[in-house]
Amino acid sequence: MVEIAVIGAGYVGLTCAAGLASLGHNVACADIDADRIAGLQQGRLPIHEPGMAELVQRELRTGRLDFLVGAAEASARAELHFMCLPTPQGPDGAADLTYLLGAVAEIAPVLAPGSVVVNKSTVPVGTAKLVATSIGRDDVAVVSHPEFLREGSALADFLAPDRIVVGGADQDAARRVAKLYAEIGAPVLQTDAESAELIKYASNAFLATKLTFVNEMAEVCEQVGADIDDVMLGMGYDKRIGTAYLQPGPGWGGSCFPKDTEALLHIAASAQVEFDFLRNVIALNGRHLARVAGKVTAMLDGDVRGKRVAAWGLTFKAGTDDLRESPAIAVLRLLAEGGADIVAYDPAVTGPPERLPHVTIATNPLEAALDAECLVVLTEWPELAAVDLDELAAAMRRHRVVDARNLLDRDALVARGFHHAGVGR
């Protein structure tokens, strides 16, 4: 008997499917993309995530995990139905529920009595009720069960979560979902569906706000001659603040924060709440991205036109191949618009990104730096910190570095005659 159907074999769906199987449950994971499913049946993954391929292959061998085409196929055999569909940002900023509601319509007729439909997708407040209405059956419960996975550490986050949130009117259905994680021993919070839906947005918006605060403080540090690392360390010792998530950078990005902050603004506005504070956080993040491009321009005597710029890092953070809403790409687009000639290196990227078609992709960091007049470091890949700085100096035409992640050894660069601009120093 298959206990769980996971609908959607994307990032969240695969993590849930493999993670739940590893906890001993029988899982059928479905997608509409037949090629994707054919690959997964052979243990080939469509995404880059540490440990995931090994876990999927192991769970395929145990027989607890199965991949198939079509949501109804999977749901016809299951009791719990994890909806892991994309909810992209629609034209008005709200999350687009087309994929979720399409899949719900497909599974509704085949759901066994007593089934629980579990919303994993990040969805606006009220979606659990909307899904329940769209299913239109008294014998099926709907709960909201947001995910808090980070790309690059998704499996670790799944198997050792800070908390498990399950929200819904049917307490028994919520308990059945929470019980799946019994052996993990994480704190479980049972709430109403609306609160569970909002916890996800509130968490991402708060984390984005925290980073914007750090980046604002970094600018203050630059102006007053303080060091952001020391300031954050000093703040972090206060247990109410905490040391995590205080690393300055070029600005936040990725597949979640930009769309979720916009969606929360939209949720608030629909409830006649002007969330100006969050609107400002989003705007300030754009300013930080522009500030990095401005530092490169300043290094190149105020004009990047026709000048060779080496870029290290394109993904939105290290440990992923995801380019969606990448701060690196936003910064490089500004430089490309100014006429810079960009050669980029990223260990997870082999061709020019769609949003940056004219960039040249190098096969290693030193090749990207060859003849460059300025190097800009945009993603914190550890291998970039290990590049030999004498070889870097020999490769570059002019010795200028803008390090938007404070990744490289500033003193060692300065000792080799580099002009250096970091963040918050």
> Measured from the CB atom, is 232 or 375 closer to ligand UGA?
232
- What element of type H or E holds 6? strand 4-7
| Residue span binding ligand UGA (CB under 6 A) among the ranges 23-31, 173-181, 256-264, 284-292 | 256-264
Considering only 147-155, 269-277, 364-372, 393-401, which stretch makes contact with ligand UGA by CB under 6 A?
147-155
Among positions 315-334, residues that touch ligand UGA (CB under 6 A) are 316-317, 327
How far is the C-alpha of 340 from the C-alpha of 329, rounded, in Å? Answer: 14
374 is catalytic: no
Among 8, 19, 168, 254, binds ligand UGA (CB under 6 A): 254
Among 31, 49, 151, 229, binds ligand UGA (CB under 6 A): 151
**Interatomic CA distance for residues 218 and 212, integer angstroms:** 10
Q: What is the DSSP letter of 182?
A: G
Alpha-carbon span 87 to 96, nearest angstrom:
5
| Angle (CA) 59 52 314, round 5° | 165
Residue 198 interacts with ligand UGA (CB under 6 A)? Answer: no
With residues binned 3-state (H G I as helix, E B as strand, rest as coil), the percentages for the chain, rounded to 5, are 45, 15, 40
Between residues 109 and 242, which has the closer beta carbon with respect to ligand UGA?
242
- 252 part of the interface to ligand UGA, by CB under 6 A: yes
Six-digit token pair at 392? 């870097």
Binding window for ligand UGA (CB under 6 A); candidates: 56-64, 143-151, 174-182, 273-281: 143-151
Using rule CB under 6 A, residue 181 touches ligand UGA: no
Q: What is the four-CA torsion angle of 353, 356, 360, 361, rounded to 10 degrees?
A: -30
**Amino acid occupying residue 129:** K
Q: Residue 149 interacts with ligand UGA (CB under 6 A)?
A: yes
8 A C-beta contact, residue 253 and residue 327: yes
Number of residues interacting with ligand UGA: please give it, by CB under 6 A.
Answer: 22
Residue selected from 177, 178, 180, 211 as contacting ligand UGA according to rule CB under 6 A: 211
DSSP code of residue 89: B
Task: Annotate 169-180 with b (16+ C-beta within 10 A) or e (fewer).
Answer: eeeebbebbbeb
Q: With contact defined as beta carbons under 8 Å apart, do 53 and 43 qualify?
A: yes
82 is a contact residue toward ligand UGA (CB under 6 A): no
Q: How far is the CB of 390 from ligand UGA (least distance, A)?
A: 29
Nearest residue (CB) to ligand UGA, 151 versus 373? 151
Residues annotated catalytic, as ranges: 256
Binding site for ligand UGA (CB under 6 A): 122, 147-151, 204, 207, 211, 245-247, 249, 252-254, 256-257, 260, 316-317, 327
